Structure 1
């Protein structure tokens, strides 16, 4: 966190991710909202997972007193899709945890948007009844996510999309953006 320029010593951290269902979990993106003691946002950690079992975290400080929507940008540093090169910039637009959740991500190459993904929903109290109802209405949610990723990839291959070779590069598991470099 210090490498990203964050100063707070004590943070409250809230995690937004998909649940593990029947022992299986896959989160393409987990978002950690890091807040100061007064509740104001200090940083957001975007933990990205690919289907190769790898993960990478982008630690981005929140510079303004953002309470409604937070917009952050950074260069892409992690191979996620065989259809997207590494010369992308990533943009994140998120609403801090509240009654509604909104997350959108866009990837740009040469200032042209090449991919956009978004999610929105309403917050519910975490009770046994809500968990049972959610499981009944979405019984295989995490399985559906991974199956959907592979199904979409197959459709893209059949349509003739160019596959970007995956380079085996050793990289930091965490990219701190926006701050000064300090020794951990």
Structure 2
């Protein structure tokens, strides 16, 4: 195997207004080095695939994930000079992946953290990147500019806790809007090296993990709609922002 880790996680969402709604579920995520991707035996590969096309945009169909993020960073004026990039993400399972939030920690050649890229995906097939400059405690802020949910308008400001994983992960994203309590999403868990045994256990304890994430999101959406939470129309894609922001705290 490689330097990859698997984190068994608890993912929670808390909405406090205009109705109270909270849920939590268990899942798992991969933590990988983009220059040292996992190489699994053939019989496990359908359950843990990493397709570069699932992230960023690149005109070259054969661009690797490392090449895609390097191209994105170059467009933002960031040159890592070959420094290490690690990522917390979901893998493809039987050809399907849905990764609401992918985090990339970008380092210089000496190992110092330069920035964090938070790539957000919505259920409509869209994605958007926020270029973050976290403080020493892993906190950053960014204005919300991307439509994620039909129950949240494109307004407000995110505060994010995105410290790089160690034995544990503790990621938090809170959306703050004027006159409303924050909407909060968290992902917490513990990790272990992604040995073949660990990968097999993840498939047994969380089968079809990526498909289940999509199903849970839609189930929660139906429940919110049933409770008559107002819907926010999806913006015209032609008028949606396409240029990520660099935000520090």
* TM-score bracket for the superposition, by shorter chain length: 0.7 to 0.9
1:20-59 to 2 correspondences below 5 Å: 20-59=92-131
**CA root-mean-square deviation:** 1.9
Q: TM-score, normalised by structure 2?
A: 0.65
- After superposition, the Cα gap between the structure-2 partners of 1:110 and 1:168, relative to the gap in structure 1 and judged at 3 Å, is same
- After superposition, the Cα gap between the structure-2 partners of 1:20 and 1:133, relative to the gap in structure 1 and judged at 3 Å, is same
2:133 is aligned with 1:61:
yes
2:141 is aligned with 1:73:
yes
Q: TM-score, normalised by structure 1?
A: 0.87
Q: Report the Cα distance in structure 2 between the residues aligned to 1:51 and 1:134, rounded to whole angstroms.
A: 24
Aligned length: 175
The aligned counterpart of 2:183 is 115
- The question of whether the paired residues in 1 share the 8 Å contact of 2:140 and 2:247 is answered with no
Structure 2 alignment gaps of length 5 or more: 1-72
2:245 is aligned with 1:176:
yes
**Could you say what secondary structure the match of 2:95 adopts?**
coil
2:154 is aligned with 1:86:
yes
Report the CA distance between 1:94 and its aligned residue: 1.8
**Once the two structures are superposed, what CA deviation does each residue of 1:95-150 show, in whole Å capped at 9, x if it has no partner?**
21211111100101116433101011112111111100110010121111101100
Structure 1 alignment gaps of length 5 or more: 180-184
**Could you say what secondary structure the match of 2:181 adopts?**
strand
The aligned counterpart of 2:11 is none
Q: Report the Cα distance in structure 2 between the residues aligned to 1:124 and 1:148, rounded to whole angstroms.
A: 25
Q: Report the Cα distance in structure 2 between the residues aligned to 1:83 and 1:114, rounded to whole angstroms.
A: 14
The aligned counterpart of 1:137 is 205
Q: Report the Cα distance in structure 1 between the residues aligned to 2:80 and 2:213, rounded to whole angstroms.
A: 35
1:122-161 to 2 correspondences below 5 Å: 122-161=190-229
- The question of whether the paired residues in 2 share the 8 Å contact of 1:59 and 1:174 is answered with no
**Could you say what secondary structure the match of 1:123 adopts?**
strand
Report the CA distance between 1:22 and its aligned residue: 1.5
**Could you say what secondary structure the match of 1:113 adopts?**
coil
**Once the two structures are superposed, what CA deviation does each residue of 1:34-77 show, in whole Å capped at 9, x if it has no partner?**
11222221100000000000100111123x4x2xx311111111
